[in-house]
Structures are given as structure tokens and as C-alpha cells.
Amino acid sequence: MRTHFDVFGLARAYDVDVPALEKQYRELSLQHHPDRVAPGDAKERLKALEGTTALNEAFKTLKDPVRRAFYLLKLHGVDLEREDAGAQKDMPLEFLEEVMELREALDAAMAKKDLARAQAMGTQVGTQRKAALDEAAGALRHLEAAGTPGEEAAAQVRKASHALGRVRYFTRFLEQVDAFEEESLS
């Protein structure tokens, strides 16, 4: 299976040199653009279009640290993008209770039209989101260093899964805060 990392000739790793990736993306985009294929060759144009689409998707995923983390985890067999993902069901009860309390507090702030309170909660959750992403990145780096599957690798996959599960919940919360902010300022 060809991965997004393969598209750019990169090793599967959380850490990516984004400026170098951007430069390589521009170069590859020019080389493989469908307009560079002869107009009469439909098969080659389709192949170029598919290649450009794969290049764009790979770039979009690898340049963003959150998407890159989710993608790496998927390469290790855990797809958190699926709603029925096992790691979502496996989240610690304390965390799920915390999320429910945060949601209720945000709903109350929104009902009172208390934008300042919602923004303060957003700042707090943004900090938690960053910490969870840092934790996931650390687990993914450790997983890369381990190199071979085993108990330690499984523990790191589980740790990254839980951290990225939290990132997902926090991201949804922040999206709700942003939507309330836009609504309030309109």
C-alpha cells in the first residue's frame, strides 16, 4: 500500500520538515499537473489527475500535525476517523464525564449569551487539546523508535489513541465555541 509518506519519499514519522514538504509539493505539483499531458491522451490525463489528487491529499495530511498524527495511528491499525472506532468506546470514564461537564457549562454560557465565559472555556480547552496532541506525538515518536511490534508498541498505540481521542473531543468543543463566537458577533 502506498502511503502519503511514500508520495513524498519520506519515512513514516510524526516529525516532518514542513517548509521542505511545501517546497517538494510545489515541485511535484508542477511536474505531475494534468495540463502537462497531451490533450488527446485521456488515459494519461486521468492518471495525471489521480496522481495530482493523491499528491494534494498527501500534502494536506502531512503538513497538518493533527491530521498527520491521526494518519500515523491509522497506519498502525487504529482509525479514529470512524465513528465506531474502538478507541472512542475505550475512553476513560473520568474523561467522558469531564467532557459532559464542559459541554453542559458551554451550553449554559451559550444560553446566557455569555461570550466571555465561552471564550475563556475555549482557551482552557485549547490548552488541553495542545497537551493531548503533544502526548500523542510523544507516543508516536516512541512507537517509531521501538521499530518492532510488541507489547511496548501496543502500549504506545493505545496511548496515542487515547490522546488523539481527547484531541478529537476537544476539537469539536472548540468548533462549537467558534460557532457561538461567530453567531454572537454577527
DSSP per-residue letters across 117-149: HHHHHHHHHHHHHHHHHHHHHHHHHHHHHH-S-
Please give the pLDDT value at position 128: 97
Residues of the chain with pLDDT under 70: 37-40, 83-89, 147-149
pLDDT for position 16: 96
In whole angstroms, what is the distance from residue 183 CA to residue 186 CA?
A: 5
pLDDT value, residue 12: 92
- Identical fold at 4-63 and 86-185? no
DSSP assigned state of 81 = T
CATH code of the domain made up of 86-185? 1.20.1280.20
Cell numbers placing 175: 468548533
Contacts 24+ apart (CB under 8 A), 141-146: 141/13, 141/14, 141/15, 143/76, 144/12, 144/13, 144/14
> What is the structure's pLDDT at 33?
74
CATH code of domain 4-63 = 1.10.287.110
Q: Residue ranges of the domains in the chain?
A: 4-63, 86-185
